[in-house]
A and B are shown apart, each in its own frame.
Chain A
Amino acid sequence: MSRSSDPLRPGDHIDSPEAPAWQPGDPKLGVRGWARFLWRQLTSMRTAIVLLLLLAIAAVPGSLVPQRSSDPNGVIQVRQNNPGMVWLYDALSLHDVYTSPWFSAIYILLFTSLVGCVIPRLTHHWKAMRALPPRTPARLSRLVGFQTVAGDASDLERAERVLRKLGYRTTRYGDSVSAERGYLRETGNLLFHISMLALLLVVGPGSGFGYSGQRLLVEGTGFANTLSSYDSFDAARWFDEDEIEPFAVALDDLEVVYETDNPNAIGAPLDFTANVSVTEDGAERDAQIKVNEPLSVAGADLYLISNGYAPRISVRDASGQVVYDQYTPFLAQDDQMTSLGVIKLPDGLEEQLGLRGFFYPTAVTLETGALASAYPDLAAPVLSLQAFTGDLGLDAGIPRSVYALQTDGMTQIAGGDSGAASLTIPLGQSIDIPGGLGTITFEDVRRYGVIDVKVDQTQEPVLWITVVLVVSLLASLLIPRRRMWVKATPAGLELAGLARGEDPTLERAVDDLGKRIGQPAPAREAGAVDPAAAGRERRMDP
């Protein structure tokens, strides 16, 4: 029986003929022989399995150790907690597992193996799709679903028509019809593997373009899409600053809805809606950004990432002159939106002043006398600040985070161990700064939203590739590749099928064909297949 139109498989595929073992008398391998041997090993199924399992194992450490890409703060924490192990983390790229040399080595080998396997199969399949179905075997009785139905050579034409209607490619060999179907199975298989490769090729270089930036916006403020207006900005390797799309976005207001009824979830956020004004090509329009509903502006996607409160705090000097008056973002620390913030006043007062403290949207006093927030919405907003005087350390030229106060060289004048109480200010009220420096007023409070701006050119091609990937996977796993023969004999029309690959419904298909082209002859006993034949069938056609 010809196997020429079978899909080409690696040597150790279950459908491939077993290669003869090396005999002592066989010629030795030369350089070319060895190269061939190694290539065959690399493109074998066994190697693919081992590499797949290695890939699975190699992905595990990335879920155990914080990664720079997904958890940068975790990375910093791990390194601070284990200073003695930092060299090991770096030597093994444990914070960048998925771009590490060892992880890359595994998937590059896997894809090399894949390419080596797919290319010969592509050319083979191309030829197979144009080849005629193989010759009819001499003895159909050894094949699956063998049966004899009433009919003779004059029925073969009708049989051929029926088979064609069922999607088979047919040809005549003497007084028999040979048919084959399911070429799409191999097409799907090849296409699936090619899409995997395409995915890698698109994501790899594709992620070298585009950018992502983050900007905090207090209600009533906006920003223009330029590099300098971002709080943080990540440019891809080949990002060109001139390509940045000109648009502007202003946050008009941020609506947050909290649960008020369910006793198990009072204060749980139910909805975040950022109402924004977008200026694009000179025209302004209103738009919304919600969680799960990004806003698309000029090829960039805008996401609402987080939110918080920005109290407006003003500071007057001893003579009543305003030296500071700003909405200052505080960072939320818990579900009740207890928020931490810092204000630095290097100029304006007699001494440099640093303020650090909490904002409570709904302040309650605990039994210990400490303040806490009982609800995330603004029911009873209170600020509680510690004050420090001395050197803020801003003149040394070292970049300092606006959310951290370096108090090493400073004297605490309110809160903590200073002897004076923290400066607790309900909304709309003022308090004197100890030492007669001036007064602090809690003027107002607004919400802020953090907007992520992302440009990723790989998104669309990746989506299309995954569509192809799924469709081809379905084809390669669910379409049966099978052969069918109808042979005219004196006893009637003999029918039998042969599976090429997994094909659990082949026997049913032969029975069905039998019903379509004739009446079963009484000779056939249903289910009377001898076990030895079943075993043999299995070895040939899993």
Chain B
Amino acid sequence: MTPSDLDSFSLLLVYSAMAVYTVAFIAYAVDVARRSAAKPVAAEARVLVGAGAPLEPVTVAPGAAKPGRGARVGYVLTVLAWILHVGGAVLRGLAGGRVPWANMYEFALTGVAVILGVFILSRLWRDLNFLGVFMSGLATVCLGVATLNFYVPPTPLPPALQTYWLVIHVFVATLATGFFALGSGLSILQLIKERRDSGFLRSLPSGVQLEDLAYRVSVVGFIFWTFTLIAGAIWAEHAWGRYWGWDTKEVWTFIIWVIYAGYIHARATRGWRGSRSAWLQIVGLTAILFNFTVVNLFFKGLHAYSGL
């Protein structure tokens, strides 16, 4: 099979993944609608149990609004879409004969796969199926934008990217983004729940629990981001002869790091814990998305690898 055949199959898989993500989104949305109609009393019981036992997986007390068939179908479909998606990423890597994250299209492809992978695996730790709408929607939209606007045929690696640092630095950056995205989903729900606690929102864990989860997930993201920053500095020293030069991408990586440092401090500060720190977490993810899109496409700098 020629590289361009592999790339065609990769695209086919990615389009299929998008279709399945869309169906998963619908299933999750139906579940949300169904849960909105659930009896508030039952939902109350679940919240209380949740608050009292924050260390157990959020198990559902008898009679509470269980994650319905919609959520289970949504999860299974998300896993299925993710397998197609990862298959697409792997074929794309084979088509290029290298890791599939060397230009913007590939970075988006792999990045979204990592984000969804973090979400899917988080199931082993906690039932976060209430984030399903957010996650499957995010995957559909991001893959749509990536295939429509960022797609380029596979090309060989330029010499500057031919190093194991590409594998480490970029992959850890996507991993960090995955955790931050999960944290942002939780923070958004927390903020919505603080404003209005009715319907579907009543069936969610309490605002405090959402905040705790968001924080824990974001801390993992922060550790990975710190590592990304340092690995990037080491690579920059090898490639450009200096470990830090305030290149536009370096500036934005620094900005994101500082925002999340602020978030971690805010979380431990009276008057900032709660909705303020949740906003900081969301600002952080916005900066990441800005760094990936606007900075990549419109800012001049040394990280000119978008391929566009």
A contact residues vs B (CB 8 Å cutoff): 12-16, 18, 45-46, 48-49, 52-53, 55-56, 59-60, 62-64, 66-67, 69-71, 74, 97-98, 203, 212, 259, 262-265, 268-272, 290-294, 301, 303, 305, 452, 454, 456, 459, 462-463, 466, 469-470, 473-474, 477, 501-502, 504-508, 527, 529-531, 533-535, 538, 542
Write the nearest CB–CB distance from A382 to chain B, whole angstroms.
Answer: 27
Assess whether A264 is in contact with B223, with CB atoms less than 8 Å apart. no
In the bound complex, what is the Cα–Cα distance between A223 and B156 (angstroms)? 34
In the bound complex, what is the Cα–Cα distance between A452 and B240 (angstroms)? 9
Assess whether B241 is in contact with A454, with CB atoms less than 8 Å apart. yes
8 Å CB contact of A52 from B162, B230, B245, B258 = B258
Closest to A454 in B: B241
- For residue B308, CB closer than 8 A to chain A, the reply is no
Cross-chain pairs A/B with CB under 8 angstroms, 16 sampled = A14-B269, A14-B273, A45-B270, A56-B258, A70-B245, A97-B246, A203-B244, A262-B3, A269-B158, A291-B159, A291-B162, A303-B240, A470-B226, A477-B219, A529-B53, A535-B51
Question: Which residues of chain B are within 8 angstroms of A535 by Cβ–Cβ distance?
Answer: 51
Assess whether B258 is in contact with A55, with CB atoms less than 8 Å apart. yes
Assess whether A49 is in contact with B269, with CB atoms less than 8 Å apart. yes
Assess whether B227 is in contact with A470, with CB atoms less than 8 Å apart. yes
- Residues 185-215 of B, flagged 1 when their CB comes within 8 A of A and 0 if not, give 0000000000000000000000010001001
- For residue B131, CB closer than 8 A to chain A, the reply is no
Assess whether B238 is in contact with A452, with CB atoms less than 8 Å apart. no
How many B residues face the partner with a CB closer than 8 A?
71
Assess whether B270 is in contact with A462, with CB atoms less than 8 Å apart. no
Assess whether B215 is in contact with A474, with CB atoms less than 8 Å apart. no
Other contacts beyond A60-B255, A264-B155: 8, CB < 8 A: A14-B273, A49-B265, A56-B262, A66-B300, A71-B300, A265-B155, A507-B55, A534-B54
Contact (A292, B55) CB under 8 Å given A56-B258, A262-B156, A268-B155: no
Contact (A456, B242) CB under 8 Å given A52-B262, A56-B259, A529-B53: yes
- For residue B252, CB closer than 8 A to chain A, the reply is yes
Contact (A292, B160) CB under 8 Å given A69-B246, A98-B246, A303-B240: yes
Closest to B161 in A: A292
Question: Which residues of chain B are within 8 angstroms of A203 by Cβ–Cβ distance?
Answer: 244
- For residue B261, CB closer than 8 A to chain A, the reply is yes
In the bound complex, what is the Cα–Cα distance between A254 and B154 (angstroms)? 27
Closest to B261 in A: A52
Closest to A507 in B: B55
Assess whether A14 is in contact with B52, with CB atoms less than 8 Å apart. no
Question: Which residues of chain A are within 8 angstroms of B53 by Cβ–Cβ distance?
Answer: 507, 527, 529
Contact (A294, B159) CB under 8 Å given A52-B262, A70-B245: no
Assess whether B223 is in contact with A477, with CB atoms less than 8 Å apart. yes
Question: Which residues of chain B are within 8 angstroms of A474 by Cβ–Cβ distance?
Answer: 223
Write the nearest CB–CB distance from B237 to chain A, whole angstroms.
Answer: 7
8 Å CB contact of B52 from A477, A506, A530 = A530
Closest to A66 in B: B300
Assess whether A506 is in contact with B55, with CB atoms less than 8 Å apart. yes
- For residue B48, CB closer than 8 A to chain A, the reply is yes
Question: Which residues of chain B are within 8 angstroms of A504 by Cβ–Cβ distance?
Answer: 54-55, 212, 216
Question: Which residues of chain B are within 8 angstroms of A533 by Cβ–Cβ distance?
Answer: 52
The secondary-structure label for the interface of chain B is helix
- Residues 220-243 of B, flagged 1 when their CB comes within 8 A of A and 0 if not, give 001100110010011101111111
Question: Which residues of chain A are within 8 angstroms of B158 by Cβ–Cβ distance?
Answer: 268-269
8 Å CB contact of B265 from A48, A305, A508 = A48
Assess whether B269 is in contact with A12, with CB atoms less than 8 Å apart. yes
In the bound complex, what is the Cα–Cα distance between A212 and B241 (angstroms)? 9
Closest to B238 in A: A292
Assess whether B266 is in contact with A49, with CB atoms less than 8 Å apart. yes
Closest to B56 in A: A527
In the bound complex, what is the Cα–Cα distance between A46 and B266 (angstroms)? 8
Question: Which residues of chain A are within 8 angstroms of B51 by Cβ–Cβ distance?
Answer: 531, 534-535
Write the nearest CB–CB distance from B255 to chain A, whole angstroms.
Answer: 5
Assess whether B216 is in contact with A62, with CB atoms less than 8 Å apart. no
Assess whether A46 is in contact with B271, with CB atoms less than 8 Å apart. yes
Question: Which residues of chain B are within 8 angstroms of A463 by Cβ–Cβ distance?
Answer: 234
- For residue B248, CB closer than 8 A to chain A, the reply is yes
Interface centre among B212, B242, B252 (most CB of A within 10 A): B242
In the bound complex, what is the Cα–Cα distance between A113 and B306 (angstroms)? 40
8 Å CB contact of B247 from A14, A45, A70, A452 = A70
Contact (A290, B159) CB under 8 Å given A63-B295, A98-B246, A542-B273: yes
In the bound complex, what is the Cα–Cα distance between A60 and B255 (angstroms)? 8
Contact (A45, B223) CB under 8 Å given A268-B156, A291-B159, A527-B56: no
Question: Which residues of chain A are within 8 angstroms of B264 by Cβ–Cβ distance?
Answer: 477
Interface centre among A52, A67, A534 (most CB of B within 10 A): A52
8 Å CB contact of B272 from A49, A64, A271 = A49
In the bound complex, what is the Cα–Cα distance between A268 and B161 (angstroms)? 13
- For residue B63, CB closer than 8 A to chain A, the reply is no
Write the nearest CB–CB distance from B53 to chain A, whole angstroms.
Answer: 5
8 Å CB contact of A45 from B156, B219, B269 = B269
- For residue B153, CB closer than 8 A to chain A, the reply is yes
- For residue B163, CB closer than 8 A to chain A, the reply is yes
Question: Which residues of chain A are within 8 angstroms of B237 by Cβ–Cβ distance?
Answer: 459
Assess whether B262 is in contact with A294, with CB atoms less than 8 Å apart. no
Assess whether A46 is in contact with B269, with CB atoms less than 8 Å apart. yes
In the bound complex, what is the Cα–Cα distance between A286 and B230 (angstroms)? 32
Assess whether A63 is in contact with B262, with CB atoms less than 8 Å apart. no
In the bound complex, what is the Cα–Cα distance between A106 and B243 (angstroms)? 23
Question: Which residues of chain A are within 8 angstroms of B54 by Cβ–Cβ distance?
Answer: 504, 507, 534
Contact (A508, B55) CB under 8 Å given A13-B268, A262-B156, A303-B241: yes
In the bound complex, what is the Cα–Cα distance between A292 and B160 (angstroms)? 6
Assess whether B156 is in contact with A259, with CB atoms less than 8 Å apart. yes
Question: Which residues of chain A are within 8 angstroms of B208 by Cβ–Cβ distance?
Answer: 538
Question: Which residues of chain A are within 8 angstroms of B152 by Cβ–Cβ distance?
Answer: 264
- For residue B38, CB closer than 8 A to chain A, the reply is no
Question: Which residues of chain B are within 8 angstroms of A505 by Cβ–Cβ distance?
Answer: 55
Write the nearest CB–CB distance from A321 to chain B, whole angstroms.
Answer: 44
In the bound complex, what is the Cα–Cα distance between A80 and B264 (angstroms)? 43
Assess whether A264 is in contact with B259, with CB atoms less than 8 Å apart. no
In the bound complex, what is the Cα–Cα distance between A305 and B302 (angstroms)? 12
Question: Which residues of chain B are within 8 angstroms of A477 by Cβ–Cβ distance?
Answer: 219, 222-223, 264
Question: Which residues of chain B are within 8 angstroms of A55 by Cβ–Cβ distance?
Answer: 258
Write the nearest CB–CB distance from A12 to chain B, whole angstroms.
Answer: 5
Question: 7 tightest A-B contacts by CB?
Answer: A265-B155, A52-B262, A45-B269, A291-B159, A264-B153, A507-B55, A529-B52
Question: Which residues of chain A are within 8 angstroms of B247 by Cβ–Cβ distance?
Answer: 70
B:56-79 near A, CB below 8 Å: 56
Question: Which residues of chain B are within 8 angstroms of A527 by Cβ–Cβ distance?
Answer: 49, 52-53, 56
In the bound complex, what is the Cα–Cα distance between A55 and B258 (angstroms)? 8
Write the nearest CB–CB distance from A171 to chain B, whole angstroms.
Answer: 27
Question: Which residues of chain A are within 8 angstroms of B269 by Cβ–Cβ distance?
Answer: 12-14, 45-46, 49
Closest to B59 in A: A527
In the bound complex, what is the Cα–Cα distance between A506 and B272 (angstroms)? 24
- For residue B168, CB closer than 8 A to chain A, the reply is no
